[in-house]
Structure 1
Amino acid sequence: MVDVPNIENPFDRYARIVRNAVGVPVALVTVLESAHQVFLGGAKQLPEPYCTTGTSPLTHSFCQHVVQGGRSLVVDDAREDPELRSNGAIRDMGVVAYLGWPLMDERGVVVGSLCAIDHEPREWTSAEILMMRDLAACCSAELDVRMREASL
């Protein structure tokens, strides 16, 4: 009998790399759908019900701002940000500091976000921001491959 290796979700791997490299309690790979965001990776670090459902409503999404704006979002303390302070993720998921980078498909359309989340305010360093940019490019390539495979 041949042992089949445990195949890890590649998006959980990206989330783990971000958590370890940046030193945050939560990192996620997300994509947006019309009424909610889907956690492709890292959901196990979230509180219930999000870790079980693997989704959250857009009222609890910082990643939607990355997708809609088409650019990174760097937030040191969301509780102080007039646009974000009413976001349900602050109360229900403990999101305080957020660093999100766009995930793009092969046409350059932003479909999701690779993000780092801290429960405390923090000032993101230029090294952390550059690392997220590079990892998001790699994660985008992986996501694009998976999306093309799913459409076959």
Structure 2
Amino acid sequence: MARQRELGLASVPDTVFDEVARTAAESTGATAAMVNLVGERGQYFVGLYGKEPSSGEPAFLGDPGRFMDMDQGFCVHVVGRKAALTLDDVFEFSRFRGNPVVDELGVRSYIGVPLIDDDGTVIGTVCAIDPAPRSESEGNSWGNQGLQVLKEARDRVLAEIGGRQKIGGVLAAADGPVMITASPGLEVLYANAWHEQLFGGVEQLGAPAPEVFPHLAPVGILAIIEHLERGGEPMVTPPIPLNGPATATIAFAAVPVRVPGQEAAVLTFGLTDTDAVTCLARAKEIAADVEDQTDAP
């Protein structure tokens, strides 16, 4: 989980990873596929795709949504062994057939590959599941072709993660505290070290900003974010006194920003001993720098 935080991976639905899951499911003929971040207390499907079965086709018994407990499913085994896992028929493996997803969700076959970052940490998986068994005799075994499809999906995910790290570099170099939240849920996507020094650390990206940073509301930051999300113009808070010299103040601006995987997002930036015009202009510059990294090949 700490490594996911360093990589800027947030536990929120992500349209880029949803598309990776869709391609993986369609290319393997699977009913569902996921890009799964495996943490310490649970699993989160940042990428998720599932198709509606046709009449008469096997179907899952339930829908877990985007979150699973650590004892559910087979991805934790992929993470633990740092190797792919192929189960054409879960019932053939005593170690796996008793997993809760078999009886509760009706998962009967599974294939998954680990997401191993450039630091050697296994941060999750790309996987596909079916409510029906597969077999070589039926000609629908996951086989080498299924593994190759998921490895290609894994490579897309890792390349995307590498590209997004450039955004973290832009925020780390900013001359004030910066936070980016998804709209409309205010989930924290990014927060630089300066921001965490002022408001506290982020254990897991993707948590709602009001919960992670309870002091945002008293200083007016939540108000200017919500104003922008309601269709208003970018705003700046009044100057806020800082601990230290009596004259030291900081103002925060909120501006829209485009980041990968999200339909809409807001960037907040704080600048010390400044006026509203300067603070807002600098926030827009940082947002533009973030978008330049997003657009870079």
Structure 2 stretches of 5 or more lacking a match? 1-13, 52-59, 135-140, 169-189, 193-297
What's 1:4 paired with? none
Compared with structure 1, are the counterparts of its residues 44 and 22 closer, same or farther at alpha carbon in structure 2 (3 Å cutoff)? closer
Q: 1:127 corresponds to which letter in structure 2?
A: Q
Distance in 1 (alpha carbons) for counterparts of 2:68 and 2:160:
23
Aligned pair in 2 of structure 1 residues 60, 115: CA closer, same or farther (>3 Å)? same
The aligned residue for residue 157 of structure 2 is 139
Pick one of 86, 103, 115 that aligns with 1:74.
Answer: 86
**Pick aligned residue for 1:28 from 34, 41, 45:** 34
Whether 1:11 aligns to 2:23 is no
Residue 100 (structure 1) aligned with residue 112 (structure 2): yes
Counterparts of 2:98 and 2:162, CA distance in 1: 32
- SS of residue matched to 1:121: coil
Distance 2:108 2:164 in 1: 31
Q: CA RMSD in A?
A: 2.1
Aligned amino acid, residue 140 of structure 1 = L
Using the alignment, how far apart are the partners of 2:88 and 2:71 within structure 1? Answer: 20
SS at match of 1:58: coil
Report the TM-score, using the length of structure 2 for normalisation.
Answer: 0.44
Mapped to 1, the partners of 2:46 and 2:98 lie a distance apart of: 25
SS in 2 for 1:59: coil
Counterpart of 1:75 in structure 2: which amino acid? L
Q: How many residues are aligned here?
A: 142
Q: Secondary structure at the match of 1:133?
A: helix
Question: For 1:106-138, what per-residue CA distance to the aligned partner results, in whole angstroms no more than 9, with x for missing partners?
Answer: 212111000011111112122221121122122
| Paired amino acid for 1:25 | T
The worse-fitting range, judged by mean Cα deviation, of 85-94 and 64-73 is 85-94
CA contact 1:37–1:61 (8 Å) conserved in 2: no
Larger radius of gyration: 2
1:97, distance to aligned residue in structure 2 (A)? 0.8
120 and 105 in structure 1: CA distance in 2 versus 1, 3 angstrom threshold = same
Extract unaligned runs of 5+ from structure 1: 1-7
Partner of 1:58: 70
- What is the CA deviation profile of residues 12-43 of structure 1, one whole-angstrom value per residue up to 9, with x for unaligned ones? 00110011111111101101111211111116
Q: Is contact 2:19-2:47 (8 Å) kept? A: yes
Shift in alpha-carbon separation, 1:20–1:89, aligned structure 2, 3 A: same
> Could you tell me which amino acid in structure 1 is paired with residue 68 of structure 2?
S
Q: Which has the higher contact order (CA 8 A, sep 6+)?
A: 1
CA distance in 2, matches of 1:147, 1:108: 16
Given that residues 76 and 97 in structure 1 are in contact (C-alpha distance below 8 angstroms), is that contact kept between their aligned partners in structure 2? yes
Partner residue in 2 for 1:119: 131
1:110 corresponds to 2:116: no
Q: 1:147 to 1:25 in 2, by over 3 A?
A: farther
Conserved? CA contact 1:31–1:37, under 8 Å: yes
TM-score using structure 1 length? 0.83
Query: 8 Å contact 2:33–2:50 — kept in the other structure?
Result: no
How far, CA to CA, are the matches of 1:41 and 1:97 in structure 2? 19
Query: Within 2, Cα distance between the matches of 1:28 and 1:111?
Result: 14
**Partner residue of 2:95?**
83
One-letter amino acid of the counterpart of residue 41, structure 1: G
